[in-house]
Amino acid sequence: MPLEQWLAIPQTLTVRVLRVRVSLPGLRVHTVTLMTTLLDPKLYPAKEIAEAYRLRWRQEMCFDDLKTTLHMAHLKSKTPLMAQKELCMFLIAHNLIRCLMVQAATHAQIKIEQISFKGTLDAFRQCSQGMAQAKSKAKRESLWEEFKRIVAADSLPHRPGRREPRAVKRVTKYPKLSCHRRRFKDRMSRNKRRSLRLKNAKILI
């Protein structure tokens, strides 16, 4: 942070402290303490702030859609400029899918939370191929209406309090590249390991 910006930070900050009682079936009632700079209780009621805090995990799921579903976890660009362009393309694709989800939810008059991001992406891939081969505007419009109907019909079930652990599912059999490529030694194949064991066994005999 530049020194001028650091010196411009106020010495004190007034915050509003909210204490919300959370009650879930089968669990003990506990209190959550929230602090916010939204000081006006009329413009920003405590109930709305607590509801926004409860839905904060949806933002984390949006990050998961970007990194896992759209495969943005590892960027392939090697320069800062190309990395920025790659990030922009991922964000454009993410916003496009979100826009399609909103259209499908509006068409079916259901909540956006009931629309699957992965399901919308898969359906759009199939629909785009059909629309590219359509020979008339009426056919494309018919396919588009069918696409919105399919996306809305494959709605997510109501899952209150669903647990989303911070854990990695993908496991690979290959070792981690923990040193320079030139120094890394590849693991011998299964046939080479078997041959080496047989050779050592003959030597012992």
- pLDDT tens column, 51-94: 888 888 778 888 888 888 898 888 888 899 999 999 999 999 99
Residues 39 and 26 in one domain: yes
Angle separating helix axes 80-108 and 137-153, nearest 10 degrees: 80
> Is residue 203 domain-resident?
no
Residues 64 and 105 in one domain: yes
SS3 160: coil
65-76 confidence digits (pLDDT tens): 888 889 888 888
pLDDT band at 154 (very low <50, low <70, confident <90, very high): confident
184-200 confidence digits (pLDDT tens): 777 777 777 788 777 77
Amino acid at 142: S
> Is residue 93 domain-resident?
yes
101 to 56, 104, 109: CA distances (angstroms): 19, 5, 12
Give CA–CA dist 200/192, Å, rounded. Answer: 12
Whole-model pTM?
A: 0.65
Using a 10 angstrom Cβ sphere, with 0-12 exposed, 13-18 middle and 19 or more buried, the burial of residue 205 is: exposed
Count of C-beta atoms within a 10 Å radius of residue 148: 20
Residues 40 and 112 in one domain: no
37 lies in which domain range?
14-54
Q: What is the DSSP letter of 165?
A: -
> Is residue 114 domain-resident?
yes
Residues 91 and 128 in one domain: yes
Determine contact, residues 128/141, Cβ cutoff 8 Å: no
Residues 77 and 138 in one domain: yes
pLDDT of residue 78: 85
pLDDT of residue 203: 66
Overall number of domains in the chain: 2
